[in-house]
A and B are shown apart, each in its own frame.
Chain A
Amino acid sequence: MIDIWNIVDIALFAAMLRMATPLVLAAIGGVFTERAGVINIGLEGMMMLGAFWGVATSHWTGSPWLGMIVGMIVGGLAALVHAFLSIKYNANQIVSALGINILALGLTPYLSAMIWGSRGASAAVTGLPRWEIPLIRDIPVLSEFLGPHSPTVFLMVIIVIAAHLILFKTRWGLHIRATGEFTKAAATAGVNIQRTRYICVVISGVLAGLAGVHLALGHLAMFSWGMTGGRGFIALAVMIFGNWRPYRAIAAGLLFGFVDALQIRLQGIGVPVQFPQMLPYLITIAVLAGVMGRARPPSDIGKPYD
């Protein structure tokens, strides 16, 4: 018999937090871009580019912090391409983002081979340090749950709170929500649609890039091909499950993170590895099919405006 407490322990919940981080970061990015009316299924590719350039920067400079910043910038630049195509030229938003995903998938092994001589994986680089929260360090269970973690985990929590405040407590958030909900109404009220959309799409790329940095520098300290493993798409499910709201997105992200952490644990107990590995994707399908209640997307999502 499997002892359930061998599987479910405090370390599992700590792993949940680590696993949830990239999903929540990218999902918050998704909330911004979709609240402004632009679909971004390119989060996966932007995450991958962020992970790659984060590792490459750390490799060259020895600074994972610089890697983090570069990863975010690269994610933002990839998003800028998507923004440019879909806002300025009214390109199909799915096609333009899909292009970024394919580009990332092809570009990263090529560059990896150039830099490290291997298409599959980079050399080990300096990763981000592990942090603990000073006061909690001495509390037994909580300290195990809340640390030591990569700074990106703590950053994620701060970003979620900031995203909530921006979206619902500032004038700029009102502009974003109005833009995605009823673009023409926002425009006739004097909101600058183009600028709002550009900024939101770039934010989504920056956050996806940070999610990639978390995977590559906060988690493993190396880059391997396809290491994002569809998390950019799962992040979209997290965003939908979270009803395009930051606080609900973190709750949804923790659920997905838990399933992800759980599946790793379950791989050790004799079940064929493939079955536990399916779990996150099965949950994604269930969420997207509306099994757990239907979400209402912003009304004017995906519609070009000129």
Chain B
Amino acid sequence: MTEDKRAPTVEMVEITKRFPGVLANDRVNFSVTQGEIHGLLGENGAGKSVLMSILYGLYRPDSGQIYLHGAPVQINNPAKAIGLKIGMVHQHFMLIPNMTVAENVVLGFEPPGLVLRSRDISSRVAQFAAAAKIKIDPNAMIEALPLGTRQRVEILKILYRQADVLILDEPTSVLTPQGIDDLFTSLRALRDQGKTIIFIAHKLKEILSICDRATVLRRGKTIGTVEISRTDENELTEMMIGSKMVPTRRAKKASNGKLILQGEEITAINDRGVVALTGASFQLHAGEILGIAGIEGNGQTELVEVLTGLRRPTSGKIMLNGVDLAGISPKAALDHGVRHIPEDRHQRGIVLDFSVMENLILGDHEQPLFKGFLSQLKYRFIRRFVDQRIDEFQIQTPNRETVTRSLSGGNQQRVVVARIFNRELTLVIAAQPTRGLDVKAAEYVRRKLIELSDQGVAVLLVSADLDEVMALSDRIIVIFNGKLTATSDRPTRRELGLLMLGETKDRS
């Protein structure tokens, strides 16, 4: 710990929080002083969000004490936290989609009086936003706003509640590089006004560029607090994961493999009947990793669904080795050697309440390999097969019968990845394959994708993590508003960022 003469604004002492089977916070100490941007750094599952949820009154600690400006406080619910001028921007925005910006901002903090006039609240919110230099239309419906704008609504919401301490939980995960610059500019402005900002992140670069100090958590324990000016990426990495880690990079290859997949003018509509993909054309060769970069919600989901047989395109062709896959069933897609790492593992990757064994063969259970002459499952063989898989893919599980729900996210994803190898395959569609994983598990998945491409498998990598796309892909295509745009050979972050915004520099 560094010496600090100022009294801490927030001090959390010996905070312990236990969930069934997990010690989320183990005697954590954390303190921030007024007018600083304090990073809270750690891998997924390190206990950052839990600690901040305790500060915001969403959880109650099993033991430990919180002090605000030196005085002990009990924060039993968010209303109490708001009263103590603590505000939080959650990673998943806490905004009601079918209400307006103004209604969301004033919710729970309405002007006094029985009657709530919508004109009155929108002019209040407009005035407040103008004073806070936040550009926003108070009458816009939340559901019509892009994620970056929703985040501004969240920040406006906590400022409206007169918060002095702002907690931001992974605020950059929904933003483009340019959006991140904007956010950092406004955070610095808020700090200079004397606000205290707690910035939760797991990306070192962000912590290094925005924070004054940072506290590192690992597996629910405080590792230490450092001055950003006196540290570097290596030290922070070591604190965060306990060892040095060289991130996987891959040398780009020229595509000289056989043409595997060719999308021709694919158009598709989303669940709400709106066109989500327009005239998408691309080529993917054997042994190649093609990255699809873009802000989420620009048609990635529909592209992946169309390619894996989960969604019927309205027009266009999907030629896989000369066969048109457009509109075929997911089962037929599997039979053609298309494998899928779904973006939402809990919805589509695994059945949470099935055993690891069942999940490892799910979807391939009708293969002759697993089936006997009466179509019964050959469990004796399956058990051996599954045990091998668990070994080979280093799936941390008590045994093959364990319910998959109880595994960590990283190990659940290993199950999904391991299953890809069950049959002959020619194409892997990897959608957000490392989302929510800790560094080690993410690296493991990335190495597996590289391994697949080295074996001549064509890989389509759809990821919102720009660093990941840049590190792994041979070529990158940007998706914006349902349209695909090819990029130059070695695109810079800036170039990609602009394309991700539809090539316009000025935004609202």
Do chains A and B interact in one complex?
yes
Q: Of all chain A residues, which has the CB nearest B98?
A: A181
A223 to B: closest C-beta gap in Å: 38
- Residue-wise, chain A 148-187 has the 8 Å CB interface mask toward B (1 for contact) of 0000000000000000000001110111011001101111
* Best-surrounded residue of A174, A178, A189, A191 (most CB of chain B within 10 A): A189
Segment 38-72 of B: residues with Cβ below 8 Å from A:
56, 58
Q: Of all chain B residues, which has the CB nearest A300?
A: B96
B299 to A: closest C-beta gap in Å: 24
Separation of A177 and B110 alpha carbons in the complex (Å): 14
Q: Is B197 an interface residue (CB 8 A)?
A: no
Q: Is A90 an interface residue (CB 8 A)?
A: no
- Residue-wise, chain B 70-89 has the 8 Å CB interface mask toward A (1 for contact) of 00000001110010000010
Contact (Cβ within 8 A) A170 B114: yes
Q: Is A192 an interface residue (CB 8 A)?
A: yes
Task: Chain A residues near B96: list those with CB within 8 A.
Answer: 177-178, 181-182, 185-186
Cβ-neighbour of B107 out of A169, A170, A175, A299 (below 8 A):
A175
Separation of A176 and B78 alpha carbons in the complex (Å): 17
Task: Chain A residues near B117: list those with CB within 8 A.
Answer: 169
Task: Chain B residues near A175: list those with CB within 8 A.
Answer: 107-108
* Best-surrounded residue of B95, B107, B161 (most CB of chain A within 10 A): B107
Q: Is B254 an interface residue (CB 8 A)?
A: no
Contact (Cβ within 8 A) A178 B78: no
Q: Check A186/B115 contact, CB under 8 A, given A174-B103, A181-B99.
A: no
Q: Is B90 an interface residue (CB 8 A)?
A: yes
Q: Is B144 an interface residue (CB 8 A)?
A: no
Task: Chain B residues near A192: list those with CB within 8 A.
Answer: 79
Closest 9 CB pairs of A and B: A190-B108, A185-B94, A189-B108, A171-B110, A190-B79, A189-B107, A188-B94, A191-B108, A182-B96
Contact (Cβ within 8 A) B107 A178: yes
Separation of A174 and B107 alpha carbons in the complex (Å): 7
Task: Chain A residues near B95: list those with CB within 8 A.
Answer: 182, 185
Contact (Cβ within 8 A) B115 A191: no
Separation of A174 and B117 alpha carbons in the complex (Å): 11
Q: Of all chain A residues, which has the CB nearest B103?
A: A174
B179 to A: closest C-beta gap in Å: 22
Task: Chain B residues near A170: list those with CB within 8 A.
Answer: 114-116
A177 to B: closest C-beta gap in Å: 7
B463 to A: closest C-beta gap in Å: 27
Q: Is B109 an interface residue (CB 8 A)?
A: yes
Separation of A186 and B97 alpha carbons in the complex (Å): 12
Contact (Cβ within 8 A) A186 B107: yes
- Extra contacts, 8 of them, besides A170-B116, A178-B99 (Cβ < 8 A), are A170-B115, A174-B106, A174-B110, A181-B99, A188-B58, A188-B88, A188-B90, A189-B94
A169 to B: closest C-beta gap in Å: 6
Cβ-neighbour of A177 out of B94, B99, B113, B161 (below 8 A):
B99
Question: Which B residues have a C-beta under 8 Å from some C-beta of A?
Answer: 56, 58, 77-79, 82, 88, 90, 93-99, 103-104, 106-110, 113-117, 157, 161
Q: List 30 A-B contacts (CB under 8 A).
A: A169-B117, A170-B114, A170-B115, A171-B110, A171-B113, A171-B114, A173-B116, A174-B99, A174-B106, A174-B110, A174-B116, A175-B107, A177-B96, A178-B96, A181-B98, A181-B99, A182-B94, A182-B97, A186-B96, A186-B107, A187-B78, A188-B58, A188-B88, A189-B94, A189-B104, A190-B78, A190-B82, A190-B107, A191-B79, A191-B107
Separation of A170 and B56 alpha carbons in the complex (Å): 27
Contact (Cβ within 8 A) A169 B90: no
Separation of A147 and B441 alpha carbons in the complex (Å): 74
Contact (Cβ within 8 A) A189 B103: no
Cβ-neighbour of B157 out of A186, A189, A299 (below 8 A):
A189
Chain A contact surface mostly: helix
A239 to B: closest C-beta gap in Å: 18
Separation of A285 and B82 alpha carbons in the complex (Å): 46
Contact (Cβ within 8 A) A190 B109: yes
Separation of A173 and B107 alpha carbons in the complex (Å): 10
Separation of A191 and B116 alpha carbons in the complex (Å): 16
Separation of A257 and B415 alpha carbons in the complex (Å): 57
Contact (Cβ within 8 A) A169 B115: yes
Contact (Cβ within 8 A) B116 A188: no
Separation of A178 and B161 alpha carbons in the complex (Å): 17
Task: Chain B residues near A181: list those with CB within 8 A.
Answer: 96-99
A151 to B: closest C-beta gap in Å: 26
A127 to B: closest C-beta gap in Å: 35
Task: Chain A residues near B56: list those with CB within 8 A.
Answer: 188
B114 to A: closest C-beta gap in Å: 6
Task: Chain B residues near A191: list those with CB within 8 A.
Answer: 79, 107-108
Task: Chain A residues near B103: list those with CB within 8 A.
Answer: 174
A192 to B: closest C-beta gap in Å: 7
- Residue-wise, chain A 206-239 has the 8 Å CB interface mask toward B (1 for contact) of 0000000000000000000000000000000000
Task: Chain A residues near B113: list those with CB within 8 A.
Answer: 171
Task: Chain B residues near A188: list those with CB within 8 A.
Answer: 56, 58, 78, 88, 90, 94
Q: Of all chain B residues, which has the CB nearest A165?
A: B115
* Best-surrounded residue of B88, B90, B96, B161 (most CB of chain A within 10 A): B96
A247 to B: closest C-beta gap in Å: 17
Task: Chain B residues near A190: list those with CB within 8 A.
Answer: 78-79, 82, 107-109, 161
Task: Chain A residues near B93: list those with CB within 8 A.
Answer: 185
Task: Chain B residues near A299: list those with CB within 8 A.
Answer: 97
Contact (Cβ within 8 A) A169 B94: no
Contact (Cβ within 8 A) B116 A169: yes
Separation of A178 and B94 alpha carbons in the complex (Å): 11
Separation of A189 and B58 alpha carbons in the complex (Å): 11
Q: Of all chain B residues, which has the CB nearest A193?
A: B77
Q: Of all chain B residues, which has the CB nearest A180?
A: B96
A68 to B: closest C-beta gap in Å: 26
Contact (Cβ within 8 A) A189 B109: yes
B116 to A: closest C-beta gap in Å: 5
Task: Chain B residues near A187: list those with CB within 8 A.
Answer: 77-78
Task: Chain B residues near A169: list those with CB within 8 A.
Answer: 115-117
B467 to A: closest C-beta gap in Å: 30
Task: Chain B residues near A186: list those with CB within 8 A.
Answer: 96, 107-108
A305 to B: closest C-beta gap in Å: 12
Separation of A181 and B78 alpha carbons in the complex (Å): 18
B298 to A: closest C-beta gap in Å: 23
Q: Of all chain B residues, which has the CB nearest A192?
A: B79
Q: Of all chain B residues, which has the CB nearest A171?
A: B110
Separation of A105 and B157 alpha carbons in the complex (Å): 49
* Best-surrounded residue of A175, A182, A188, A191 (most CB of chain B within 10 A): A188
Task: Chain B residues near A189: list those with CB within 8 A.
Answer: 78, 82, 94, 104, 107-109, 157
Task: Chain A residues near B58: list those with CB within 8 A.
Answer: 188
A276 to B: closest C-beta gap in Å: 39
B327 to A: closest C-beta gap in Å: 25
Task: Chain A residues near B106: list those with CB within 8 A.
Answer: 174
B156 to A: closest C-beta gap in Å: 12
Task: Chain B residues near A173: list those with CB within 8 A.
Answer: 116
Task: Chain A residues near B108: list those with CB within 8 A.
Answer: 175, 186, 189-191
Segment 59-98 of A: residues with Cβ below 8 Å from B:
none
Separation of A182 and B96 alpha carbons in the complex (Å): 6
* Best-surrounded residue of A170, A175, A190 (most CB of chain B within 10 A): A190
